[in-house]
Amino acid sequence: MADLNIPNLNIKNDKYIFKKKLNLRRKSKRRLFTESFFLFILSVLLVYINFLIPNKNLLLQNLPSTFNKSFLLLIDLFSHLYEIFLVIFIFVSSFAALILMIGSFNRLFKVYKRKSRQIVYK
């Protein structure tokens, strides 16, 4: 009887389970300053990386043709995937048919063998 767990009906609803764990304090000025400094450093780093990319204008001008080529390659990929899946289906279905044929011949052989050795009780 010690292992019996009786539910406690006096427990409050868990609807606001994480409400008490929220940090409602304001951040200090020092912490806000350090966060803004890190954000500024990160933005400067991203601008510098953008600056290092060569031929930005050429890349932006070729963007529509790149999308068009990518779309055509995607259509070509899906057409080839259809053929690949069809070949995989042919191999899997042939293998399954072979297993089913072997199983049917095995069962027929067992049935034939059992009837020939059947003992008649009178």
Question: Is pLDDT at 119 greater than 60 in this prediction?
Answer: yes
Contacts of 53 (CB under 8 A, 6+ apart): 59
pTM of the model: 0.42
**14 phi and psi angles, rounded to 5 deg:** -85, 25
Domain extents in the chain: 14-116
Residue 109: pLDDT band with limits 50, 70, 90: confident
Q: Give the residue-averaged pLDDT of 32-56.
A: 93
**46 phi and psi angles, rounded to 5 deg:** -65, -40
- Residue 1 DSSP one-character state: -
pLDDT at 78: 87
